[in-house]
Amino acid sequence: MTISLPSSFNTFDLKFSPLPKLQQGDKVAILSPSFIAPAYFPHIYELGLTRLRDVFGLEPIAFPSTTNKDATHKEKAADLIEAFERPDIKAVIATIGGDDQIEWVRDLPQRPFQENPKPFFGYSDNTHIANHLWQCGVPSFYGGALFIQFARQCEMDSFTVDYLKKALFENSIIELRASETFNDEDLAWEDPATLAQKRRYQPNDGWHWDLGEIATPGDFSGITWGGCLESIDELLRHRMPLPTPEQFTNIVLYFATSEELPEAPYVSRILRALGELGILQRVQGVLVGRPKAWSFEKPNTDQMKKAYTEAQMKAVRETVRRYNQEIPIIQNMDFGHTDPQICLPMGSHTIINCSDQKITISF
Residue 280, Cβ density class (10 Å: 0-12 exposed, 13-18 middle, ≥19 buried):
buried
Please report the sign of the dihedral spanned by the C-alpha atoms of residue 67, residue 187, residue 58, residue 135. negative
pLDDT value at position 340? 98
pLDDT one-digit tens code per residue, 67-79: 999 999 999 999 9
* Domains, in order of start, for the chain: 2-175 (3.40.50.10740), 181-362 (3.50.30.60)
Contact 132, 111 (CB under 8 A): no
pLDDT value at position 13? 60
Neighbouring C-beta atoms of residue 238, cutoff 10 Å: 12
Angle at 301 between CA 192 and CA 193, to 5 degrees: 10
CA atoms within 13 A on the CB side of 202: 15
Task: Please tell me whether residue 47 adopts helix, strand or coil conformation.
Answer: helix
**Residue 142 one-letter amino acid:** Y
Q: Which residues face 2 on adjacent strands?
A: 174
Q: What integer is the mean pLDDT of 211-232?
A: 94
Task: Please say if the pLDDT value at position 5 is more than 50.
Answer: no
Contact 196, 153 (CB under 8 A): yes
The band of 215, judged by pLDDT with boundaries at 50, 70 and 90, is: confident
CA distance 79 to 36: 13
Residue 158, Cβ density class (10 Å: 0-12 exposed, 13-18 middle, ≥19 buried):
exposed
What lies within 8 Å, CB to CB, of 120 at 6+ separation is 91, 92, 93, 94, 126, 129, 130, 133, 138, 140, 141
CA distance 142 to 121: 6
Task: Please say if the pLDDT value at position 8 is more than 70.
Answer: no
Task: Please say if the pLDDT value at position 3 is more than 60.
Answer: no
pLDDT one-digit tens code per residue, 9-26: 344 467 899 999 999 999
Task: Please say if the pLDDT value at position 165 is more than 60.
Answer: yes
Q: What integer is the mean pLDDT of 315-331?
A: 98
Task: Please tell me whether residue 316 adopts helix, strand or coil conformation.
Answer: helix
CA distance 100 to 142: 18
pLDDT value at position 4? 34
H/E run at residue 48? helix 42-56
pLDDT value at position 10? 41
φ, ψ of residue 170 to 5 degrees: the values are: -105, 145
The band of 255, judged by pLDDT with boundaries at 50, 70 and 90, is: very high
